[in-house]
Structure 1
Amino acid sequence: MNIEHVGIYAHDSEALAKWYTDALGLREVRRIDRGEGKPAVVFLQGASGAIVEILPTSAMETERALNSPGFTHLGIAVDNMDEQMVRLAEQGIEVKNIRSTSNGWTIGYFNDPEGNILELVQR
């Protein structure tokens, strides 16, 4: 079993999709237009094949409480942490809380423009 995709609600789905494309190198693979004046649902894919689905908050059926159980962060595998940190820094993105774990991984965290937490993981 593999993770196929993760969905992220955004106040501005177009802007967030552009950020994930520019900052992380994901590519758009599908788009669902929801009608005139309504923001699209955008599907982005990374090198592993996993998909990030960006949904406009206007597509939410009910308001989700900020403290409700659910999504906490999105982990992104990288081959070279230092190279990725330089690439992100060139775009004004600061990776924080960088550390080595007890199993030898290197991890660090940053936020997307909507405040979602992203974790870089070098195994």
Structure 2
Amino acid sequence: MKYLHAMLRVHDLDATSRFFTDGLGLKQTRRSDHPAGRFTLVYFGAPENPEAEIELTYNWPPEDGSAPENYGSARNFGHLAFEVDDIYATCAHLQSMGITINRPPRDGWMAFVRTPDLISIELLQKGQPLPPQEPWASMPNTGTW
């Protein structure tokens, strides 16, 4: 058996793609548009192990102009986890992009953020936790993750 990918349904393909590429540094590995089925698939991999992918599925808006499908809050999915070289730098970068740090890395080890489609992302510090650092050490949780 070989693990292939995790699939996430998204409403805003551009914003979520930007989150994974510009925010987390993943690379788009491939993309395919399926006009007959009215959907687009975009795959992303981490530079250190691109074979384990995230698939974003974007279902095109209904042709009749009705509202797109509601996927809910995505809380039932759980989360995706990424190991990062510097959790503080990663969180600062995401914050500069307008991403809310829902669970700040107060412990220098773990943080949670959410994608534009509300998918929870766990960030874990590579190796040992970093020493506590402001503003993260005293930053409260925000919202849910």
Q: Could you state the TM-score of these two structures normalised by the residue count of structure 1?
A: 0.74
Separation (CA, whole Å) in 1 of partners of 2:95 and 2:82: 16
Distance 1:81 1:28, change over 3 A: same
Q: Give, in angstroms, the shift of residue 65 of structure 1.
A: 7.9
Question: Which of 116, 123, 130 is matched with 1:120 structurally?
Answer: 123
Q: Report how many aligned residue pairs link the two structures.
A: 115
Q: Find the residue that maps to 2:99 and give its secondary structure.
A: coil
Question: Which of 63, 75, 82 is matched with 1:76 structurally?
Answer: 82
Q: Give, in angstroms, the shift of residue 18 of structure 1.
A: 3.0
Task: Flag as ranges the 4+ runs of structure 1 deviating above 6 A.
Answer: none
Q: Is the 8 A contact 1:14 1:39 kept in 2?
A: no
Percent of residue pairs identical:
27
Distance 1:5 1:40, change over 3 A: same
Larger Rg: 2
What does residue 91 of structure 1 align with? 97
Separation (CA, whole Å) in 2 of partners of 1:24 and 1:68: 20
Gaps of 5+ in 2: 61-68, 128-145
Q: Give, in angstroms, the shift of residue 83 of structure 1.
A: 1.4
Q: Give, in angstroms, the shift of residue 85 of structure 1.
A: 1.5
Please list the CA deviations of residues 58-99 of structure 1 after superposition, one character each: whole Å capped at 9, or x if unmatched.
6xxxx8985999620011111111111121122122323234
Could you say what the CA RMSD is over the residues aligned between the two structures, in angstroms?
A: 3.1
Gaps of 5+ in 1: none
